[in-house]
Amino acid sequence: MNHTNIITTNIKSKAEFRLVDQMINIETKRRVLLVPEAQSFDILTACYIDGEFTIVSHYDLEQELIDKLASV
């Protein structure tokens, strides 16, 4: 697993919150672009937050797809 893009959420201000929100969006887009089959599942979040892989989608995703997103 690639844990080099872990986002932490020890937020102290609105500016930090906006920065973390942007980081989550960028990391999610990166992962979805690297896993083409994920692009049709309306994935809102797919990244490591505080050391745990977090995924949010309007669909129930198969574990295989989640594992691919977690590993890129």
Position 11 pLDDT exceeds 80: no
* Dist. CA 46–CA 53, nearest whole Å: 7
* Dist. CA 66–CA 9, nearest whole Å: 22
pTM tops 0.85: no
Position 1 pLDDT exceeds 80: no
pLDDT digits (tens, 9 = 90+) for 26-71: 999 999 999 999 999 999 999 998 888 999 999 999 999 999 999 9
Task: Give 64's contacts (C-beta < 8 A, 6+ positions apart).
Answer: none
